[in-house]
Amino acid sequence: MTRTKKSSEKPGRFTYAYATVCPLDGKFDSLVLPNVNTECMQIFLDEIARRYPNENIVMVMDGTGWHRSHSLTLAENLRLLLLPPYSPELNPVEHLWDELREKSFHNRVFDSIGALESHLVDALRHMEETTDAVKSIAGWDGIINSLCNANYNKIIIL
């Protein structure tokens, strides 16, 4: 997730990017939301389930609080699989965040949160459109081999 605050802006205003990637085909989906909490996580899960209504999805994610909240309601086509604690190296989307920071935000200063949000949305849209590049970053052999044993059409990682 990306966040920033300018001293002249309202304190506590941040921008958060939620994203998933399918390491098998490089499909990347994202949503920019105002908070990281259970409510926004629910919005994101509902959106992903809506985008892939005819696919069974396993969403692999870390165990942060809003990822494992018992108040989350899952669509029929969506299942969650939590990674072990302290294992970001097992999460391919973390490599995509590194790529995004390096290619789109390295040594950048924004005049406002709005300018940052606009740039973030453009960068995420570009990632969504470049599935071959995303697959080359997120689709390493170990993750592909382990995920292919699951009985689902779509495996995405948050």
pLDDT in tens, 38-79: 999 999 999 999 999 999 898 888 888 777 788 999 999 999
Provide the percentage of residues in the chain whose pLDDT is more than 70.
84
What's the whole-model pTM score?
Answer: 0.82
pLDDT of residue 9: 47
Q: What are phi and psi of 140, to 5 degrees?
A: -80, 155
pLDDT of residue 148: 67
Q: Give the pLDDT band of residue 6 (cuts 50, 70, 90).
A: very low
**What is the arithmetic mean of pLDDT over 123-133?**
96
With vertex at residue 20, the alpha carbon angle to CA 14 and CA 24, rounded to the nearest 5 degrees, is 160
pLDDT of residue 86: 83
Is the CA virtual torsion 30, 31, 37, 43 positive or negative? negative
- Integer Cα distance of 113 and 151 in angstroms: 42
What is the amino acid identity at position 76? E
Q: From its phi and psi, is residue 73 left (phi > 0), alpha (psi between -120 and 50) or beta?
A: beta
| E strands, the chain, in order | 16-22, 27-33, 57-61, 78-82, 154-157
Q: Residue 115 above 70 pLDDT?
A: yes
